[in-house]
Amino acid sequence: MSEPFLTVTDLHAGYGAARVLQGLSFTVDKGDVCAILGPNGAGKTTLLRALSGMVRTDGAIRLDGAAIAGRKPEAIARRGVAHVPEGRGTFAPLTVEENLRLGAYPRRDRPGVEADLARVFGFFPVLREKRREAAGALSGGQQQMLAIGRALMLRPRLLLLDEPSLGLAPLVTQELFHLIGTINEQERITVLVVEQNAHLALGISSHAHVLEAGRIVLSGTASEVQADAKVVQSYLGYRV
Ligand code: ATP
């Protein structure tokens, strides 16, 4: 049997003396959407940072058979890991198109970059309309689309999304999650999505893990986690 696309084994990470991740182990199969749920401070953001090389880690991370733990963020990005951070990280004074082109920075294949710009505009037509406008002038939902679009310009194999719904109106969030589902299906990109809105995240995910104080306390298929609503509620403080 072939190895899972992403294998995380006994992963520890933290900031100086603050130990946040306390030995996480899980796998994600190629093309799956995996949700990481959990209350504030559980370590969800730290997990994404660990996967993209932004915090020091102990333990093993294998991506498509290659060990990536301890590598620099640029090296991990070159292996196809694109991270859309909480708060989006787009450059407000730059135009939409400039932001998208920045996402392709590690790539050398110019014709491919042009094709991918068209591909991103296909997913997010509003970004084509606003391509010459400053990113800072976009609505919150459009800025999140831009952040995801910029990540797609890397032609990622693994997309890490940190709280895409943060600060967005419910309808905008629904549209965004629908688009994330479409991108996953059409591009066969493996997605790891951290979300407070468990219901929305489970709606597009095949599997989910609930984190609490740096440990996985519940894992399963999205429907198993959904069915375990009582447990989820006790960890998340609300129903899914
Ligand atoms: P949230 O939804 O609130 O972002 P989270 O599950 O993503 O929560 P993390 O952001 O990973 O949680 O934070 C986990 C713990 O690590 C928290 O106790 C937080 O205070 C701490 N922490 C996060 N970033 C840093 C940092 N740069 N330096 C020190 N401690 C940090």
pLDDT tens digits along 37-92: 988 899 999 999 999 999 999 999 999 999 999 999 999 999 999 999 987 778 88
To test the pocket of ligand 1, the residue of 19, 45, 83, 215 to mutate (highest count of ligand atoms within 8 Å of its CB) is: 45
pLDDT for residue 194 is more than 70:
yes
* Count of Cβ atoms closer than 10 Å to residue 102 Cβ: 13
Tens digit of each residue's pLDDT (9 = 90 or more) over 139-149: 999 999 999 99
pLDDT in tens, 16-26: 888 999 999 99
Question: What is the residue whose two structure tokens read 């591909």?
Answer: 119
Q: How far is the CA of 187 from the centre of ligand 1 (A)?
A: 31
> How far is the C-alpha of 196 from the C-alpha of 99, rounded, in Å?
27
> Which of 11, 20, 21, 56 for a ligand 1 pocket mutation test, highest count of atoms within 8 Å of Cβ?
20
- Do residues 54 and 4 make contact, with C-beta atoms less than 8 angstroms apart? no
Quickly state the pLDDT bin for 237 (edges 50, 70, 90). Answer: low
Confidence at residue 40, expressed as pLDDT on a 0 to 100 scale = 87
Lowest-pLDDT range, 95-109, 134-148, 195-209, 213-227? 95-109
What is the phi/psi pair of residue 205, to 5°? -100, 155
Confidence of residue 196 (pLDDT cuts 50, 70, 90): confident
d(CA 134, CA 138): 7
Nearest CA to ligand 1 atom 30: 15
Q: Residues 6 or more apart from 89 whose CB is under 8 A from it?
A: 147
Instruction: Report yes or no on whether pTM surpasses 0.75.
Output: yes
Closest to 7 (Cα-Cα) out of 46, 42, 51, 44? 51
Query: Ligand 1 within 6 A of 197 CB?
Result: no
3-state helix, strand, coil in the chain (%, to 5): 40, 25, 35
Residue 119: other Cβ atoms inside 10 A? 17
Distance 19 CA to ligand 1 centre (A): 10
